[in-house]
């Protein structure tokens, strides 16, 4: 007798840079979320599809939860909590280094400074009455005794049903987490074809890949003041695709930096994005980028709608 299939949603929540996107990509087995060393890389929930045993787990990689100030920040945080509230399972991913006092020298400047964000998430989970799976991440950078003590401290808060220690980067403990999530999915038919890894439109994925390259190449506040829009997508007879993208920046000075001297910076960004898109799509890509100053793009309702965020927050 064939076992019944299971299908549902699992939300991965956590503070900025806890490693959510890296974990989702590891669980799915392919790249569905962009990953950089900068906080707030993910701006909207990205659904990756994981097949495990007879279960299909639709993973929602939520934006990092933090104290929002700007409209875009508020929209991202609201989206994260909505993703958690609608899920069949919730994983609270925590950077183990912040709860052990170890490995601090590995944390790049500008990342969140301690467990305050994690404690705020714990308090919110208590308030909502949501039981989450505790996933202590980056265990390869922490000594085991300190790791066990941190796990006990966190588990004693009462908001977790299970705890697992993982490394999203090298895969340690990820199979155990996969099994936990698969077992929590309700019985039902699969929500997506078994060979589909994400429900993100390819035009949006392409824009996110380019934004990732911009974030990796640029510094300070500029990456947070820009967005990327895929304007055109043309498939040619030889199987290749022509992609035209518009990079919106907030100021003239930012446009000059994105372009670089003689257009060198944007050329390098375009080459890196094109190469990755070719790897993802498995076909030649002709990518064309241009930059436009759009001072108030963060107050444009249509841009929020395009990436699934609520403008009215």
Q: Which CATH class is domain 6-184?
A: alpha beta
**pLDDT tens series, the chain, 313 aa:** 456 899 988 888 888 778 887 888 888 886 655 444 444 444 445 667 889 989 999 887 665 544 545 555 555 555 555 655 568 899 999 999 888 765 444 444 444 445 788 888 898 888 888 899 999 999 988 888 889 999 999 999 999 999 999 998 889 999 999 999 999 999 998 877 776 665 556 777 788 888 888 888 886 555 556 788 888 888 888 989 899 998 888 888 888 888 989 999 999 999 999 998 888 778 899 999 999 888 765 555 554 444 444 445 4
DSSP per position, 229-284: EEEEEEE-TTS-EEEEEEEEESSHHHHHHHH-GGGHHHHHHHHHHHHHHHHHHTS-
Pair 32, 24: CB distance under 8 Å: yes
* Number of other CB atoms surrounding residue 183 within 10 Å: 12
Residue spans of the domains in the chain: they are 6-184, 202-306
Q: Taking the domain 202-306, which CATH number applies?
A: 3.30.300.20
Pair 165, 147: CB distance under 8 Å: yes
Structure tokens at 88: 């069949």
Q: Which pTM was predicted? A: 0.60
Those residues with Cβ within 8 angstroms of residue 152's Cβ, 6 or more apart along the chain or in another chain:
none
> What angle is formed at CA 85 by the lines to CA 8 and CA 97, rounded to 5 degrees?
95
């Amino acid at each position: 007798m064939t076992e019944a299939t299971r299908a549902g949603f699992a939300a991965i929540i956590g503070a900025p840079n806890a490693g959510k996107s890296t974990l989702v990509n590891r669980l799915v087995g392919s790249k569905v979320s962009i990953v950089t060393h900068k906080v707030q890389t993910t701006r909207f929930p990205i659904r990756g599809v994981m097949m495990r045993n007879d279960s299909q787990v639709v993973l929602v990689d939520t934006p990092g939860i933090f104290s929002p100030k700007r409209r875009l920040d508020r929209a991202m945080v609201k989206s994260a909590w909505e993703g958690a509230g609608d899920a069949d399972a919730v994983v609270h991913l925590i950077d183990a280094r912040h709860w052990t006092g170890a490995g601090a020298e590995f944390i790049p400047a500008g990342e969140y400074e301690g467990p305050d964000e994690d404690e705020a998430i714990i308090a919110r989970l208590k308030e909502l009455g949501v039981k989450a799976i505790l996933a202590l991440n980056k265990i390869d950078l922490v000594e085991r005794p300190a790791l066990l003590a941190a796990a006990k401290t966190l588990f004693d808060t009462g908001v977790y049903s299970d705890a697992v220690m993982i490394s999203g980067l090298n895969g340690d403990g990820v199979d155990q987490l996969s099994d936990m999530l698969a077992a929590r999915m309700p019985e039902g038919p699969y929500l997506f074809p078994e060979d589909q890894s994400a429900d993100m439109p390819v035009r949006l994925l392409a824009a996110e890949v380019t934004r990732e390259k911009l974030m990796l190449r640029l510094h300070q506040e500029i990456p947070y003041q820009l967005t990327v829009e895929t304007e055109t997508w043309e498939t040619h007879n030889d199987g290749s695709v022509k992609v035209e993208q518009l990079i919106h920046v907030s100021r003239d000075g930012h446009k000059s930096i994105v372009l670089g001297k003689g257009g060198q910076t944007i050329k390098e960004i375009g080459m890196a994005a094109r190469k990755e898109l070719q790897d993802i799509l498995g076909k030649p890509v002709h990518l064309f980028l241009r930059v436009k100053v759009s001072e108030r793009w963060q107050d444009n309702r249509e841009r929020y709608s395009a990436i699934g965020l609520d403008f009215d927050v």
